[in-house]
Structure 1
Amino acid sequence: MSTVITVSGGGFRAYDVVIGRGLLPDLGRRIAALAQGRTVIITDETVAALHGPAVLAALEAAGVRARLLTVPPGEASKSFAELERVIDRLLAFGLDRRDLIVALGGGVVGDLAGLAAALFMRGIDFVQVPTTLLAQVDSSVGGKTAIDTPRGKNLVGAFHQPRLVVADIDLLATLPPRQLRSGWAEVLKHGLICDPAFFDWLAGEGAVGAGGDPAALTRAVVRSIEIKSAIVGEDEKEVGRRALLNLGHTFGHAIEAELGFDETKLTHGEAVALGCALAFRFAATNGLCSGEDAVRVEAVMAAAGLPTRLDAVGAFSAEALVTRMAGDKKAEGGGLTLILARGIGEAFVDKAVHRAAVAAFLKTEGAS
Structure 2
Amino acid sequence: METGFPLNRADALHRLKSFLPQAGSAYARLRNRDEGPGGHRHVSRLSASLRRRLVSEEEVVRAVLGHHDLASAEKFVSEVFWRSYWKGWLEQRPSMWQGYRTALSRARARLDDKPELKARHEMAVQGRTGIDYFDACITELAETGYLHNWSRMQIASIWIFTLNLPWELGADLFFERLLDADPASNTLSWRWVAGLHTVGKAYLADPERIRAMTDGRFAPKGLARSAVIPADSISTPPPSGIRERRSPDRAAPTLLLVTTEDLSMEEIPALRALPVRAIACVDGKNRWDGAPLADGMERARQAWPGARDLGALDPAGVFEAAAEAGCTQVTSTFIPAGPVADALLPRLQEPKSHGIVFTEHLRDWDRRTWPHCRKGFFALKEKIPGIVEGGRA
More strand per residue: 1 or 2? 1
For Structure 1 versus Structure 2, the TM-score category normalised by the shorter chain is under 0.3
**Whose Rg is larger?**
2
Higher relative contact order (CA 8 A, sep 6+): 2
TM-score (norm 2): 0.24
